């Protein structure tokens, strides 16, 4: 929630100050990192490293636990930063976008949370397994689903066609996460939750960029 509010506030500041696209795009990238400390990006780096190894799933899980940063992780995060900032610079800063981008961060985190407690994990121990066990039942997924719907409703209020496209892309990423996690890693992990969040957000931001041009957002 805090990330969504601050990203929306950043958009409002850029609108008021007449900030250019490059600085606006850089802010869209850096504000979430400043709030979260890059915890989700750490998972993204670990998964990129593991995938680059082309190893069996058991070995990939070992790579996820390795505290060292590999070359492929550095390359992957550098490419991610450039792509995210470039896409963000093409998004027009307007009040609709402030709501859409803010809601995007809330919705993506809700989907990540639902996947964490619903999808099977790759190991019977660790922080994610503890969270998975404590979230068993319908309460936690139901609360997250309500929050997702609330964020989606705010986005639809701002611009229905763009919001629908963004939410569908986010849901598609969540659906594809399950077979990817099972096939490549034998189940979910905390790193995969972070990886999913980063991928879903850049995919939803790219959808916003394209859809905003199609519908003619200012």
Question: Which of 155, 161, 168, 176 is closest to 104 using CA atoms?
Answer: 155
| Tens-digit pLDDT profile for residues 79-110 | 999 999 999 999 998 999 999 999 999 999 99
More confident residue, 54 or 115: 115
| Tens-digit pLDDT profile for residues 125-163 | 555 555 555 545 678 889 999 999 999 999 999 999 999
More confident residue, 20 or 162: 162
| Tens-digit pLDDT profile for residues 183-203 | 999 889 889 999 999 999 999
Going by pLDDT thresholds of 50, 70 and 90, the confidence category of residue 19 is confident
Decide if pLDDT at 212 tops 80: yes
Taking the C-alpha atoms of residue 202 and residue 175, their distance in angstroms, rounded to an integer, is 16
More confident residue, 137 or 76: 76
Which pLDDT belongs to residue 125?
Answer: 52
Measured from the Cβ of residue 206, the count of other Cβ atoms closer than 10 Å reads: 19
Average pLDDT, the chain: 89
DSSP reduced 3-state for 67: coil
The partner residues of 188 in beta bridges, in order of sequence, read: 121
Which pLDDT belongs to residue 169?
Answer: 98
Which pLDDT belongs to residue 82?
Answer: 96
Which pLDDT belongs to residue 211?
Answer: 96
Which pLDDT belongs to residue 69?
Answer: 80
Residues 6+ apart with CB under 8 A from 171: 111
Domain boundaries in the chain?
2-215
Which pLDDT belongs to residue 99?
Answer: 95
Which pLDDT belongs to residue 68?
Answer: 80
Which pLDDT belongs to residue 130?
Answer: 53
Taking the C-alpha atoms of residue 51 and residue 172, their distance in angstroms, rounded to an integer, is 21
% pLDDT > 90, the chain: 62
DSSP reduced 3-state for 25: helix
Burial 98-114 (b: 16+ CB within 10 A, else e): bbbbbbbbbbbbbbbbb
Alpha helix stretches (DSSP H) within 90-189: 95-118, 127-134, 139-158, 160-185
């Amino acid at each position: 929630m805090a990330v969504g509010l601050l990203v929306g506030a950043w958009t409002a500041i850029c609108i008021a100050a007449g900030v250019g696209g490059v600085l606006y795009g850089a802010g869209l990238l850096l504000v979430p990192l400043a709030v979260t400390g890059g915890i989700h990006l750490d998972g993204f780096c670990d998964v990129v490293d593991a995938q680059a190894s082309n190893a069996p799933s058991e070995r990939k899980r070992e790579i996820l636990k390795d505290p060292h940063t590999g070359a492929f992780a550095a390359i992957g995060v550098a490419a991610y930063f450039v792509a995210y900032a470039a896409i963000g610079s093409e998004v027009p800063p307007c009040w609709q976008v402030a709501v859409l981008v803010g809601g995007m961060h809330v919705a993506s985190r809700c989907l990540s949370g639902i996947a964490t407690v619903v999808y099977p994990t790759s190991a019977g121990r660790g922080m994610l397994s503890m969270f998975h066990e404590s979230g068993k039942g319908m309460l936690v997924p139901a609360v997250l689903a309500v929050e997702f719907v609330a964020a989606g409703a705010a986005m639809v209020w701002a611009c229905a066609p763009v919001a629908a496209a963004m939410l569908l892309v986010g849901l598609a990423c969540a659906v594809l996460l399950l077979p990817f996690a099972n096939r490549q890693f034998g189940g979910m992990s905390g790193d995969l939750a972070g990886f999913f969040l980063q991928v879903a957000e850049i995919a939803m931001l790219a959808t916003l960029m394209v859809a905003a041009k199609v519908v003619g957002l200012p």
